[in-house]
């Protein structure tokens, strides 16, 4: 079976998936690297979350010299993930092809030339119909949220905001947003974290392991398909800075309470 990974260049999510596949001995034929979303996409998301003030703040950060830019919680989370996940595609015999945007002509041409049976997504955005039609069997996504309840973006933060334990889901990709049939989903064994960065790192690792497990099921012909029920709410958008700071403060507070209230070990 010809298996390819489509991932954004430098994506911690894609790196973790590659490592998980290698640990389980899943053969990966190649990697297609795509560029990140255009700046206008990120600014539009920031506008929806934080309004004009958030857009102005993001613009000022881009104008600052790289060394003087503020390092927000989201940036620190990505940095921490990159430290933990080496770029596995620079090791071994995995071929690497550089595309353009996720639905751009170079990316589509590269995948058509690769003729994948199964395509895996590693943090690269929403696929268009032309790209979805290329893999013979289909496309899998490891979503960092419990579907169908947590579709969209920033779902780890929203899950913690709601007081629930985060989880991850591997599903077949269709034309909807995180709406395809489910193969595997699992929650973290412990939902207690002292920061959003720690929670996102744990969910990213869980999603990667589930992806590798799901690929093995597809190869063996035993992968289940669970149709998603209708979601009780629309897909989540980027969380506002104010709400994210409140979630962070609550996590730090609960972490301190948990440490203070922990039973003391008695000497023998």
Residues identified as active-site = 143
118-122, strands of its sheet edge to edge:
95-98, 30-34, 3-8, 118-122, 138-143, 167-172, 182-187
Tokens for 267? Answer: 């000497």
């Amino acid at each position: 079976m010809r298996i390819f990974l489509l991932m954004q260049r430098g994506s911690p999510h894609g790196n973790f998936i590659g490592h998980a596949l290698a640990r389980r001995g899943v053969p990966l034929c190649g990697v297609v690297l795509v560029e990140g979303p255009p700046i206008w996409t990120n600014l539009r998301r920031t506008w929806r979350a934080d309004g004009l003030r958030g857009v102005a703040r993001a613009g000022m950060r881009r104008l600052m010299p790289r060394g003087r830019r503020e390092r927000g919680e989201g940036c620190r989370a990505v940095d921490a993930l990159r430290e933990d996940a080496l770029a596995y595609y620079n090791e071994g015999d995995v071929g690497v092809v550089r595309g353009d945007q996720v639905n751009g002509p170079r990316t589509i041409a590269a995948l058509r030339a690769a003729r994948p049976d199964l395509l895996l997504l590693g943090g690269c955005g929403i696929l268009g119909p032309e790209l979805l039609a290329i893999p013979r069997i289909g496309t899998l996504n490891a979503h960092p949220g419990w579907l169908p309840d947590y579709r969209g973006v920033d779902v780890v933060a929203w899950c913690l905001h709601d007081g629930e334990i985060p989880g991850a889901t591997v599903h077949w990709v269709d034309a909807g947003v995180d709406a395809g049939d489910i193969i595997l989903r699992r929650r973290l064994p412990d939902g207690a974290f002292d920061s959003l960065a720690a929670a996102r790192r744990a969910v990213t690792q869980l999603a990667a392991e589930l992806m590798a497990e799901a690929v093995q099921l597809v190869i063996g012909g035993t992968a289940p398909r669970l149709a998603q029920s209708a979601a009780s709410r629309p897909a989540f958008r980027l969380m506002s800075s104010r709400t994210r700071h409140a979630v962070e403060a609550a996590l730090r507070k609960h972490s301190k309470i948990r440490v203070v209230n922990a039973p003391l070990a008695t000497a023998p």
